[in-house]
């Protein structure tokens, strides 16, 4: 009786197409060999060998996906906001590999890094075509002469002869005269008197006693050669390596 009820339920809830040999559950128009219109529940499933999973597309088709990475690869690197080791991921903090508690992770670390993990603190990861784990670069830099563009300093040389002459004109008023003169009147003891002045100039030359000589000039550009930062704007995170667990 129990078997009959189950069979009766299946018959009522399913439809069968003789022409296409397709079975539909909760649908009168099956489009696949087995077309289930609704959710499924599988009570017991045998474990699968290898790394394969079942997946559905947007039309409800079921596929087996092979080669799916179900766990990180050994030596894989990631950024994270976690502060400590977790789930097989270990901080790249320069520690000795012998201090790693997990035997599996410790052995993998020794195989990958030797006696010491790489120290990624305050460093950026850089893709390289050479040896992995190479350390280089600086956060600050000192500018040197070789970093400056080429330029020329304007210079000049004065004559070496020191002795030379200077000529100067001295202009004054001379009395009396008629050329280049002017006249004026003034009261003198109750009377008037005429007087004349002449504009006269004279030239004289003086010689300096400066021997042949040269001048030397020097100065300082200032500055203290302080290093400057070349680090771009950043947000901090920790770097982890997967060593297994």
The pLDDT value recorded for residue 209 is 64
The yes-or-no verdict on residue 182 having pLDDT over 70 is: no
Higher pLDDT, 119 or 5: 119
| Token output for 227 | 């290093």
* pLDDT above 70 as % of the chain: 61
The pLDDT confidence band at residue 75, using thresholds 50, 70 and 90, is very high
Residue 156 lies in a domain: no
The yes-or-no verdict on residue 223 having pLDDT over 70 is: yes
The yes-or-no verdict on residue 111 having pLDDT over 60 is: yes
Residue 72 lies in a domain: no
Q: Classify burial at 91, counting beta carbons within 10 Å of its beta carbon; exposed 0-12, middle 13-18, buried 19 or more.
A: buried
The pLDDT value recorded for residue 85 is 97
The pLDDT confidence band at residue 88, using thresholds 50, 70 and 90, is very high
Find where tokens 């120290």 sit.
119
By the 8 A CB rule, do 186 and 192 touch? yes
Say how many domains are in the chain: 2
Highest mean pLDDT: which range of 126-135, 181-190, 225-234: 225-234
Residue 208 lies in a domain: no
The yes-or-no verdict on residue 9 having pLDDT over 50 is: no
The pLDDT value recorded for residue 235 is 93
Residue 146 lies in a domain: no
By the 8 A CB rule, do 91 and 81 touch? no
The pLDDT confidence band at residue 56, using thresholds 50, 70 and 90, is confident
Residue 135 lies in a domain: no
Give the pLDDT mean for 238-242: 97
In SS3 terms, 11-22 reads as: HHHEEEECCCCE
User: Edge-to-edge, what's the strand order for the sheet holding 181-188?
Assistant: 165-174, 191-207, 181-188
Q: How far apart are CA 37 and CA 216, in angstroms?
A: 100
Nearest of 119, 114, 147, 121 to residue 225 by alpha carbon: 147
Query: Model confidence over 153-175: pLDDT tens digits?
Result: 776 666 666 666 677 776 666 65
The pLDDT value recorded for residue 20 is 64
The pLDDT value recorded for residue 8 is 37
Residue 187 lies in a domain: no
Higher pLDDT, 131 or 114: 114
Mean pLDDT estimate for the chain: 76
| Token output for 160 | 């070496």
Residue 191 lies in a domain: no
The pLDDT value recorded for residue 98 is 96
Residue 220 lies in a domain: no
Q: How far apart are CA 85 and CA 99, in angstroms?
A: 13
The pLDDT value recorded for residue 77 is 94
* pLDDT above 90 as % of the chain: 24
Q: Which domain holds residue 16?
A: 1-39
The yes-or-no verdict on residue 10 having pLDDT over 60 is: no
């Amino acid at each position: 009786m129990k078997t009959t009820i189950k069979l009766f339920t299946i018959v009522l809830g399913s439809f069968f197409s003789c022409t296409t040999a397709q079975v539909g559950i909760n649908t009168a128009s099956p489009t696949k060999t087995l077309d289930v219109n609704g959710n499924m529940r599988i009570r017991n499933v045998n474990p699968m060998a290898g790394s394969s999973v079942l997946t559905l597309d947007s039309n409800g088709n079921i596929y087996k996906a092979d080669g799916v990475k179900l766990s990180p690869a050994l030596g894989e690197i990631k950024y994270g906001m976690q502060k400590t080791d977790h789930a097989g991921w270990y901080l790249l903090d320069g520690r000795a590999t012998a201090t790693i508690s997990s035997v599996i992770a410790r052995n993998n670390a020794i195989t990958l890094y030797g006696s010491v993990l790489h120290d990624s603190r305050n460093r950026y990861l850089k893709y390289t075509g050479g040896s992995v784990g190479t350390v280089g670069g600086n956060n600050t830099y000192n500018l040197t002469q070789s970093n400056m563009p080429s330029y020329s300093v304007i210079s000049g040389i004065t004559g070496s002869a020191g002795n030379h002459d200077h000529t100067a004109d001295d202009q004054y008023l001379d009395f009396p005269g008629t050329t280049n003169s002017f006249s004026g009147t003034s009261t003198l003891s109750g009377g008037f008197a005429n007087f004349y002045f002449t504009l006269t100039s004279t030239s004289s030359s003086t010689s300096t006693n400066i021997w042949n000589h040269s001048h030397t000039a020097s100065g300082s550009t200032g500055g203290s050669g302080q290093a400057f930062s070349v680090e771009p704007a950043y947000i901090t995170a920790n770097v982890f390596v997967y060593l297994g667990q």
